[in-house]
Amino acid sequence: MGFVVAIDGPAASGKGTLAARLGEALGLPVLDSGLLYRAVAAAVMRSGGDLDDAAACEAAAMGLALDALGETDLRSPAMGEAASRVAIHPSVRTALVHIQRAFAAREPGAVLDGRDIGTVIVRDAQAKLFVTASAEARALRRWREAIQRGEAAVYEDVLADILRRDQRDEGRAVAPLKPAPDAVLLDTTDLSIDAAFDAARRIVEAARARAGAA
């Protein structure tokens, strides 16, 4: 396995943006594992299935290919909520493990972001970050994004959605959202994206130096 960066954290913490920028800086491929669950949810919904039906969701996960992650509608707030419902099924998480681990095993390495990368998918990743922010700050980011897209959004509703997703992600029986014991916590509540990236880059560079010295 090459050099792997595992980035975990709750919705709208900034982990996806940081993963993309770190991948570019390091010259490594990036996998947003959340898109896997969104793609599974999209497949179930297209087939007329029920997101609460574990068997239907597992079947969609088993048939998932990485090229499905390019669908433009996967990043909508509605698909984020649908993905959170799909992700509670243990069989779905199991079905998607091999895709993520195969991606992480690429040479010269990879950057993966999600909610259980450092705790389940790649426990031996050389660099682990847990990116977080207050629920209020994350809701404000999502609200602003919606307004910029021209959508009618109410901040209080967005905050309620964020809190509901946090509860679901942290409370699921399998692979709940939590920091890995050896992850470095990065709180982006009061950081600009550039400041957050600078902090993340320094964390990863320190981990890379340790890996090279080992």
- pLDDT tens, position by position, for the chain (214 residues)? 799 999 999 999 999 999 999 999 999 999 999 999 999 999 999 999 999 999 999 999 999 988 778 776 898 888 988 998 999 999 999 999 999 999 999 999 999 999 999 999 999 999 999 999 999 999 999 999 999 989 999 999 999 999 999 999 999 888 899 999 999 999 999 999 999 999 999 999 999 999 886 5
Angle (CA) 64-67-70 rounded to 5° is 110
Cα(120)–Cα(127) distance, integer angstroms: 14
Helix, strand, coil abundance in the chain, percent, nearest 5: 60, 10, 30
Domains observed in the chain: 3-206 (3.40.50.300)
Q: Crossing angle for the helix pair 33-46 and 54-62, nearest 10 degrees?
A: 120
* Whole-prediction pTM: 0.92
Residue 81 DSSP SS3: helix
